[in-house]
A and B are shown apart, each in its own frame.
Chain A
Amino acid sequence: MRYPWWYVPFLTSPMLIAVVSVIHVLLAHYAVGGGMFLAVEAYYAYRRRNAPYLEYLRKHARFFMYVTVVFGAVTGVGIWWTIGLASPLATEVLIRTFVFAWATEWVTFVVELVTVFLFAYGFGRTAPRWHVAFAAAYAAAAWLSLVIITAITAFMLNPGRWIETPTFAAAFFNPQFLPQVISRTGGALMLCTLYVYLHTSFTVNDADLRDLVQRRSTRPALLGAVLICLGGLWWYAALPASSKAALAAASVLNLMMVGIFALTVVVFFALYVGPASHPGWLTPGFSLLLFLCGLAAFSTGEFIREAVRKPYIVYNFVTGNQLTIHDTKHVRREGVLNSYRWLHTYVRQHYPELIDSNGRVLYEKLPELAVKDRIELGRAIFLYCCNNCHAEARGYSAVGYLIHGWNRDMILRTIHHLHEADFFMPPWPGNAAEAELLADYLYSIAPEKPRGMLFGVPKEEESNER
């Protein structure tokens, strides 16, 4: 770990990334799909000279502008904020690799901002041709921004050729790029329709207008569902083997994966038998239900996307404990306490007796430390090496739950064989002396086996030494 570690009790700091990203994704896909919706529908309404529909679009554009410009944009900045704090090395790698992609994306943001304002405030005082052009330019810019950012998130899951030939083209056009662009475009279409339904069912009283909105926006959602499934299948095919194995191994992920497809299919059929062919289905209850299904599918999708990357943040390059694969070799040789600058400073300040005249840690002195100090140093190692994915005794994927009733030996063995114990984990980055410290700490927080469990074997044969 090249940076200081931000300790967030219970939740762990990387989980903040998940929270902010899920919120942002639900807004950002609407920002893309909504742009297409407004452009196409404004064109339609002007062609048909449908004043009530235009008036509806005006209201929707206001709502859209507020949601995307305020909440969409700021939560987007929020993701950037959180990844820098909780995952600085991966952020550094992504930013340096993709800086001009991001700069180009910024240009699309500028166009989006100007055009969304022009469109939303332009009703009634702009020639229809121009007004539709504003929306079309917005839609194009928003979709391009989706394409660019998708290249970056797809890169993390499978950087493909880039590992051997680190060029921009290899990074951008990675194996996950197209599948994710397809499924995200589908997601944008589908989510937008769900937002439109929700907005319409709560704000439009006129039945004819409601039916019109319903008819017009069902087809994009159906197309969206198809794209999500196609992109999703291709996504799966282009996953690295470890991610496929992760999906297969973790029953939760497995369930979620099935859940997404099931939800998409449910939404598809609900739309198909409902609004597509039956006017009058668009009640607030129905649209709210669909909306919640959509949110659930989306949030799960994002969660899976994050989860199947383990043990990497950037596949085959940055591991989940914030080392590059090249760092790992070096760190294992030098020791964590020697090579993590912030940990080293901590040891120097608190245990100067452990530092030799060259400023290196005297590992042979560690066994002489008091138990309390060994546990303390073990905790420091835990925070820098494991807290990326595990809370302490309690909390998100807390290690306490995982080592319920384990004895010190089992703990120590697992530390040494971390990536073999579970391939979601990177290898243990420290040396043998550090593993002992970590084992002391983990043993100190390991909860006892629940009492009252009988197996019919003599007590002394049970391995729990407590």
Chain B
Amino acid sequence: MTDLSAPPSPIPLPAPLGVLYVLKTVGFILHVIPMNLWCAGVPLAVALWVTGQRSADAWPRRFLAQVPFFLAFGINAGIVPLLFTQVVYHHVFYPATILMAWFWFAVIPLLLTAYVASYRVADEVRSDQARPARLVLWSVIAWVCLWCIGFLFANAFSLMVRPDRWAHLAEQHGSSGAVFGTALNTADPAMWARWLVMLALALTTTAWHPIADRLLRRQEPNDRGELSIATVTYLAGAMFFAVAGTWYAFGTWPPAVREQMLAIPLLPLTVATALAPAVPAGIVLWMRFLSGDARKLAWVGIAAQAAVVALNAISRQVVQHLELSAFGLIRPRPIAFELWPVAVFLLAALIGGSVVVVFLRMAYTSWSAAGSMTAEGSVDTAG
């Protein structure tokens, strides 16, 4: 096999690889949480709404009203891992996405459609007379678009670590040495396994939304209805995760990667990632049997779920690194590290973060007095 990855970049790495990996992974964690919510939450909420949970206070309506926010922040957070992916893996990321260029490009119209549809759904559930047909129609449109986007990401990121497939795909989907951009990585079982693992993880994250939503409204999270949604969703997600994850690790990892992931020093990470969902599962079950105030426990459960997501993101980064190493595609590169741009970034993050926190706290306290987060405000010049 000839090396089809791009030759070393004319520009040195702007920071040591490890630093870039950390930023990439942190960004990915921030992205996965809202992404999980929209992937699993939209179909789940619509299904529950259809089966009759329609009151204004019921979880499906509250969730659907919030989807546009999740999309906004999820897309926003997605910028970070994608930025750092292009910094560290440009030599494999661009070839893979160019092979599937039209599909990759289709992410943009799909996203716009999903976005518009999610606003439609949100407007619909907020109005007093939600029209069921429209609500379901727009929800299904959003859902299909979002799953397609997930599918395309799974394609791009699995194709990126399989340079041995590129020549064949270029041959099938190209002419005179150029490519049409119509290839997909569907022949690679790892693509399907990745996609399923992500959907399973999405269910487990979404399970915590009904509980978090009650906590943020200063309500006792031990509501029977919402806790049932959480429990059933979590357990289903965790089982699905176990099946898809087993297939992914034992059926699709290249032998060299599997060997390393199952040996010291990486074995504890692998085991922790695989077993982590048991902790939030235990907590959600415990909450059902707790008779007193469950707030503290609920927060612990949410933190545990964040850890599940984080472990997945870290393992993902490690596996990606090993997969590319197996093809000799992680090579030492010159580094030209300048401190001050990083310092400016960190300072901006500090200032921006503080502003955001102060504003959100302010809005949270004054708005909860005035009405719910998603209700329409009317104009009042007093104050």
- Chain A residues within 8 Å of B, Cβ to Cβ: 2-8, 13, 16, 20, 45-46, 49-51, 54-55, 58, 66, 69-71, 73-75, 77-78, 80-82, 84-85, 88, 91-93, 95-97, 99-104, 106-111, 113-115, 117-118, 121-128, 130, 133-134, 137, 141, 166-169, 324, 326-327, 341-349, 359, 376, 379-380, 383-384, 387
Contact = CB atoms under 8 A, between A and B. Distances in A.
A107 B380 CA distance: 32
B352 A108 contact: yes
A296 B352 CA distance: 35
A342 B166 CA distance: 10
Given A49-B381, A99-B87, A168 B363 contact: no
B174, B175, B178, B374: most-surrounded residue (chain A CB, <10 A): B178
A50, A69, A93, A343: most-surrounded residue (chain B CB, <10 A): A69
A128 B9 contact: no
B94 A92 contact: yes
Contact of B112 (A8, A70, A80, A93): A70
B52 to A, nearest CB: 29
Interface string B86-98: 1100100111011
B11 A92 contact: yes
Contacts of B157: none
Contacts of B378: 123-124
Contact of B377 (A70, A81, A122, A133): A122
Given A92-B86, A95-B86, A3 B94 contact: yes
Contact of B107 (A2, A81, A111, A168): A81
A93 B10 contact: yes
B117 to A, nearest CB: 11
B179 A106 contact: no
B359 A115 contact: yes
Given A3-B94, A92-B90, A66 B119 contact: yes
Interface string B128-171: 00000000000000000000000000000000000000110011
Contacts of A81: 104-105, 107-108
B338 A167 contact: yes
Contact of A70 (B2, B3, B116, B383): B116
Contact of A344 (B2, B356, B383): B2
B95 A345 contact: no
A276 to B, nearest CB: 27
Contact of B9 (A73, A92, A100, A359): A92
Given A73-B76, A125-B371, 7 more contacts: A45-B381, A88-B98, A92-B86, A100-B342, A103-B345, A327-B10, A383-B176
A102 B367 contact: no
B344 A100 contact: yes
B352 A107 contact: yes
Contacts of A20: 108
13 contacts: A4-B95, A4-B99, A6-B179, A92-B11, A104-B345, A108-B352, A123-B380, A125-B377, A130-B359, A130-B363, A137-B355, A141-B352, A349-B171
A383 B112 contact: no
Interface in B351-383: 352-353, 355-356, 359-360, 362-363, 366-367, 369-371, 373-374, 377-381, 383
A115 B76 CA distance: 14
B379 A55 contact: yes
A84 B79 contact: no
Contacts of B338: 167-168
Nearest to A131: B383
Contacts of A51: 379, 381
A71 B112 contact: yes
B112 to A, nearest CB: 5
A73 B166 CA distance: 32
Contacts of A55: 379
Given A96-B14, A106-B83, A54 B179 contact: no
5 interchain residue pairs of minimum CB distance: A125-B370, A346-B177, A124-B377, A100-B341, A7-B178
A74 B108 contact: yes
B23 interface: yes
Given A7-B180, A380-B177, A97 B11 contact: yes
Contacts of B119: 66, 70
Interface string B62-100: 000000010011011001101110110010011101110
A106 B76 contact: yes
B332 interface: no
Contact of A125 (B76, B93, B360, B366): B366
Contacts of B23: 103
A54 B379 contact: yes
Contacts of A45: 381
B14, B176, B345, B379: most-surrounded residue (chain A CB, <10 A): B176
Given A6-B101, A70-B112, A100-B342, A383 B94 contact: no
A100 B11 CA distance: 14
A75 B369 CA distance: 37
B100 to A, nearest CB: 9
Contacts of B379: 51, 54-55, 58, 123-124
Nearest to A134: B359
B289 interface: no
A2 B352 contact: no
A103 B80 contact: yes
A383 B108 contact: no
Interface string B29-72: 00000000000000000000000000000000000000001001
B304 interface: no
A19 to B, nearest CB: 11
B176 A69 contact: no
Contacts of B367: 122, 125-126
B192 interface: no
B356 A103 contact: no
B243 interface: no
Contact of A128 (B178, B179, B383): B383
Contacts of A128: 381, 383
Contacts of A102: 83
Given A97-B11, A326-B10, A84 B94 contact: yes
